[in-house]
Amino acid sequence: MGVVTAADRVPGDRARGDRAPKQDRSRATRQRLLEAAVACLAERGWAGSTVSVVAERAGVSRGAAQHHFPTREDLFTAAVEYVAEERSGALRALFPQGATDRAAVVTALVGLYTGPLFRAALHLWVAASNEEQLRPRVTELEARVGRETHRIAVELLGADESRPGARETVQGLLDMARGLGLANLLTDDQARRERVVGQWVALVEAELG
């Protein structure tokens, strides 16, 4: 049998061959838009993060941005979902073989809430509190993200939630980390944060056994 050349292929084969690079470009464009949206939220807040600004930062046209995300709310809700997935992935990547050091887990959790990804999410929360169209979508998303983060924390900390107080201890830890993330918006008080984290490590060890 001879070698089939590009000229020998039927039109359907060529169409399938052309489709893959087009899909790859589309995925790459969507990824750039999400990353640009996150960066804009962290740096400019909701008011300064328009679709045009995000599209310019991503290096694509406004029309291309609206092809992927028809509305501003679509774009930024997807961006926060992307942020949440990145946070979960980043935490898991720190302990690929599972965690044995609870102090490291507590520190990693706090790191998630005091970094730029959480800062971007906070700006969307503020916007959602005033935007009726955005609020239900962000509320639903954050509830799902909260459940996932809690589940990951329980797994990494080796918490037995049948034990009285264990679930509340994990949730309190996440609430504390979120509070430190809020405080970090105004000032980076690392020394105080380290003392708080140290105290929570002791509490977690005492409560989870």
Ramachandran area for residue 143 (φ above 0: left; ψ -120 to 50: alpha; else beta)? alpha
pLDDT value of position 68: 95
Top pLDDT among 124 and 104 is at 104
Rounded average pLDDT over 160-180: 94
36 has pLDDT over 80: yes
State the Cα–Cα distance between residues 127 and 185, nearest whole angstrom: 16
34 has pLDDT over 80: yes
Contacts of residue 105, Cβ cutoff 8 Å, sequence gap at least 6: 95, 99, 153, 156, 157
1 has pLDDT over 80: no
Rounded average pLDDT over 88-98: 78
pLDDT value of position 87: 78
State the Cα–Cα distance between residues 153 and 157, nearest whole angstrom: 6
pLDDT one-digit tens code per residue, 138-153: 888 888 888 988 998 9
Rounded average pLDDT over 48-74: 93
